[in-house]
Amino acid sequence: MDEALEVGDKLDTGADKVQERLQKRHQARIEDVERRKEAKESQSVAEEKGEYFYSAFNKERAAVEELLSGCSGADRATMTHRLEEATDRIGQLQKFLNDSVLFLTQYDLRQAQAALQKLQSTLAEMREDALPKKKFAFKVRTKAADKASVTPAPNPDADTPAAAGGTKRDGATASEQYGFSNMSDVLVTRTAEEIQKQDVLLTHLTNCKVRLLGSPSTLHLKHIDSCEILCGPVSSSVFIDHCRNSTLAFPCQQLRTHHTTDTQVYLHVTSRAIIEDCRGVSFAPFSWSYPSLEEDFSVSGLDKNRNNWNQVDDFNWLAAGTPSPNWMVIPEADRKTNWDTEN
């Protein structure tokens, strides 16, 4: 009798274990189905967001293109108004793209960026052709005239070209272009009164130190060699092309960097940084400071609490899950902190 009971207990225990295994297997299948369902729903949502983005983006892009084409043959007042409106709408289109980067693929993001850059280039060309600024000629300045803004560095006897700046156009409130080029071995400082809300272009600078105190609309750096360039908050984009062996620092909404090598970028960016055809580029959080920085942040409209300085998209490195070898984060111990006290 006891043996029969013992056998019965064993059978019950075995049956319980089999039932437990079946229940676990069933639960695992349910969970797997739920995971697949969630993944499918997530993919569907991303695809719907992507479809909505491209529909809205292309519709607005076409509207801006039509607005620009309407400038042909228009009188000066109408043309000025249209170019101002196009500037505002391109800015909104840029913000729309920045807010959508999380669900766009790298390829789709690159295509949208290229389309937007083409719009910006067309706008700049039309503004230059239709509303030309006064012509400025470079000339040799006296040392007394240079002291306020251009201080010779290692070579005090070198001739220093004057900076080229814009003046207000008749009734125009759109951003204007201001800048300087073909300089070497100089310290250049510009105040908010000179660069505020302007498109700033710096080209062909070698071994220079540049301080831009203010909030420009955009910043373009081209053919920069062995320079240190520090800038206040840029309300929209910073474009870098052919820069080498330099140190840069600025806050901005968007950063696009091309053909740049061995350069450090101290960055505050509210979207994501983009590099292409670059190597040896390194990043750290923006750390430069000057007395009116807080005021300039307010003028720029940038969010001080949103900084994606280490979120970098390399368009030459699309291997998912593998870090790009073309950029790195600057170790904390190696980051520059005393900007204006070092030689």
Q: What local confidence, expressed as pLDDT, does residue 155 receive? A: 40
Mean pLDDT of 280-298: 94
Beta strands in 270-326 (DSSP E): 273-276, 279-285, 312-314
Least confident of 40-44, 299-303, 312-316: 40-44
Percent with pLDDT over 70 in the chain: 74
Burial zone of 226 (CB within 10 Å; 0-12 exposed, 13-18 middle, 19+ buried): middle
Q: What local confidence, expressed as pLDDT, does residue 140 receive? A: 36
Mean pLDDT of 186-196: 91
- Type of residue found at 104: L
Domains and CATH numbers, the chain: 1-132 (1.20.58.1250), 143-334 (2.160.20.70)
Residues 243-272: tens digit of each pLDDT: 999 999 999 999 999 999 999 999 999 988
Give the residue among 178, 78, 62, 43 at the shortest CA–CA distance from 115.
62
Spatial separation of the C-alpha atoms in residues 143 and 165, rounded to whole Å = 19
Mean pLDDT of 128-138: 49
Spatial separation of the C-alpha atoms in residues 262 and 276, rounded to whole Å = 14
Q: What local confidence, expressed as pLDDT, does residue 209 receive? A: 95
Tell me the C-alpha to C-alpha distance, in Å, between residue 90 and each of 6, 36, 215, 315: 83, 39, 19, 23
Q: Pairing mode, if any, of strands 273-276 and 234-244?
A: unpaired
- Which secondary structure element, helix H or strand E, spans residue 225, and what is its range? strand 218-225
**Local confidence band at 338 (pLDDT 50, 70, 90 cut-offs):** confident
Residues 49-80: tens digit of each pLDDT: 667 887 888 888 888 888 888 877 777 778 77
Give the residue among 195, 315, 181 at the shortest CA–CA distance from 257.
315
Give the residue among 217, 222, 153, 143 at the shortest CA–CA distance from 182.
222
Find out whether 221 and 248 touch, Cβ atoms under 8 Å.
yes
Tell me which residue has tokens 């980067």.
Answer: 101
Find out whether 224 and 239 touch, Cβ atoms under 8 Å.
no
- Give the dihedral of Cα atoms 107, 112, 115, 119; nearest 10 deg: -150
Mean pLDDT of 127-132: 62
Given a cut of 50, whether residue 19 has pLDDT beyond it is yes
Mean pLDDT of 321-325: 84
Residues 139-190: tens digit of each pLDDT: 333 333 343 344 343 343 333 344 444 433 333 333 456 888 999 999 999 9
Give the residue among 8, 221, 256 at the shortest CA–CA distance from 114.
256
Radius of gyration (Cα) for the chain, nearest Å? Answer: 28
| Residue 238 CB partners (closer than 8 Å, separation 6+) | 218, 219, 220, 221, 231, 250, 252, 254, 255, 256
Mean pLDDT of 326-330: 94
Find out whether 232 and 250 touch, Cβ atoms under 8 Å.
yes
Find out whether 171 and 148 touch, Cβ atoms under 8 Å.
no
Percent with pLDDT over 90 in the chain: 36
Q: What local confidence, expressed as pLDDT, does residue 175 receive? A: 43
Q: What local confidence, expressed as pLDDT, does residue 262 receive? A: 96
- Which secondary structure element, helix H or strand E, spans residue 311, and what is its range? none
Q: What is the pTM of this model?
A: 0.55
In Å, how far from its chain's centre is CA 9?
Answer: 71
Mean pLDDT of 122-138: 59
